[in-house]
Structure 1
Amino acid sequence: MYASSSTARKAGARLRALGSAAFFAAALLASATPSWAAKGKTAYSFAGTPNGASPASDLLAHGGKFYGVTASGGSASLGAIYQLKQKDDGSWGAKTVFSFGGLDNGAMPQAGLIADAAGNLYGTAYIGGNVGAGTVLRLSPNADGSWTPSVLHHFTGGAEGYHPYGDLLLDAKGRLIGTAFEGGNFGDGVAFTLTPASDGSWTYQVIHHFHETTIDGAGPRGKLAMDANGVVYGITTAGGANFSGTLWSLTEGTNGWSFKVNDSFGSTVGTLPTGGVTLAKDGNLYGTGLMGGAFANGTVFKATPGKSGYKLAAVHDFTNDEGFFPYCSVLVNKKTGVLYAATSGGGSTGGGSVVTLTPQADGSYASSVLWGITGGSGAYSGLTTTKAGELLGTTKYGGKKANGQVYIIKP
């Protein structure tokens, strides 16, 4: 009755096609309006092999530096993990700290990194590994500044899932929690845990098999969030009541994990969410819908907790002036509650826009374009704050070498 892995693949193909469309539209518009906006500029341009190319994640602030992944580049042209640091003169420099190798440790990473208290970095590779289904890996810091990689899991495909496309979480028990975009019992992806043992090994366990029905979902990806009670929240890109994606949660009990669809995405709230969810201080979840909304350009949504779970509502519909297709996560200012999001293309420059949403007394949000992105297009990642209050983001395309860029904005 319902499509399984083929649906997830079709959803992925749709997303890739939309990304290509955004790039070409942005390139055409950018050529007509090449001038820089006053508040933003390119901080770093990726150089390609043997360095990184096509940045594919939000930046992780860690230890006074920033870390991210590129989907290509590196010594084997299969992707890289890079470190970004601001120099004494205010400029920015980056170096590759790990290059993906394919069969041994994975390739084409698509998700961001997390760090533990010991300074280890954790991430995933979308493909590669022993059977080409992706990996979970850890980078451990050494005293000399180098990093030691360890593959914690090789996805085997089939029922255990494959192609991880979202960020990991680290819980209070030291377990990693994540999702795989495809595979599982129904071919529509899985949620999993990786539990460490005293001997250094890790045990993989599927805790949910996604299924593209009206009461489940398919194609999980993007950021996960965890509340103070250890409940995990995420999104799927398909399935649900409108087959446009779901907001789901997983709660651990004495008999294992319990899965719940909190709400379904649709044309008003937004469709095909890709960036995942951000849990804010106010207890709400925030994210973006890739498409839908009043202008069919995508939305920023807020999910508010209630007795029956979180309920979705759009708090902003992206206009033609702002651009289209927000793939990104939403950054929430912890002090002010201001939301930041980016469109992947369009807007006044053609390269997309960074938009701020300021909460109002009546519960609405006032929007403004902080910066019309120039120097590149394809802002598929979210924004990260520096200690100085600046914003860092990336575009997959553009930069001096046409391999993507890191941009910086001074609000």
Structure 2
Amino acid sequence: MNHKKTLIAIIALLAILIVAVPTSQVAATTTEVKLQLRFTDSNLKPLANAYVKVFNTTGTADKHYVLFEGRTNSKGWLNVTIPNPHDGTKYNMTVWWDPAGTDYFYVFEEKDIDGSLLKTTPANGGYNCTSTDHGIVTSVLAVDVTATDIYGTSLGYYTTTIYYNWTNKVYSASKKPATNIRIQVPYNLSWTGGVDWTLRVHWDLEYLKFISGTPGGNVTAFNIWPTKPTYANFTITFNKDVIGPQTSSVGLGTLTVKMDVGKFEAQLVDWFGNKLNVTSGYGIVKVMVHDADDPSKLLATMIANETGGVKFLQVPNVTSTIVVYWLTHEITVNSTTIADLKALPTTLRCQLVPTVLTLKDKRPSPSILAEAKVYITWPNLLT
């Protein structure tokens, strides 16, 4: 009986001890923290699909472990819930990224981050972002590219695509009109000084020729390839000291490129050199501009105005074949190859002859036949 009493007393004592354990100690073993990490370029614009890794570096190497890893979403956010990082524990953070999502460039590394900073906002030097006004800046330079015609007007009418590459890594961005097309240019952490990237501009089915370029900000130079004027290099620089939590932009590059695109005007005349006009019975005249080296590329098309004039405000200045079609049968009345569309104005003589028909009845004293309908048939065509 004494043994039973003793056992019952021990069980009761244990129950009392368990109940008496402070709730704060139990909670401490299960406390978690939510981290909101927002990775950006130099202008605090998001990095999508960046690969992020954070690992513990306290103690010996055999005690190091990955705290978390993952990819940012389309807005640059990586949200994780992790065990509460202890103050004093050190962590390393790394980021790999490129615009194509292949993690080619090493764009962020910070060592020995104190655990407390993972929970602190960028406004206080930490990494836990609570606003899109904050971000963890990587070594990715934001560059705004504007492409203009020879008169300084941004390319319009068609979408402009900017291609930029380093070695065989090619990326692109598009916009219409071609004003401040934002590209995100990686600057690998192993690089020093200025680094050249290659640029091409595609618009209206053509890779355009560069005329000139004006760099600004973190874009420090621009050079057109002498033997291939559809290619150019631009040089970027990056201050790696600004990498880390920031609450405002730390850098921006700008580049305005003038392309070989201009106006093309033409006056259509008949066989005798007179302006075409609707009152002469010519009807609708359509003008089409094709790339002479690749006729499948239709660069521009327009219906001539009532006096036979056409004016294209922006056309790539390549050797072009101008074809003039008459009426709905699209009968070719002129085909001219022009090497330089900027040689204005241009007169295009069409194979059209003004003809006046006077219809009379068959009376002995013929009179003008009024309100008669006349059909003119082109050979081998049905009307």
Category of TM-score, reference length = shorter chain: under 0.3
Report the TM-score when normalising by structure 2.
0.20
Structure ranking higher on relative contact order (CA contacts 8 Å, 6+ apart)? 1
Report the TM-score when normalising by structure 1.
0.19
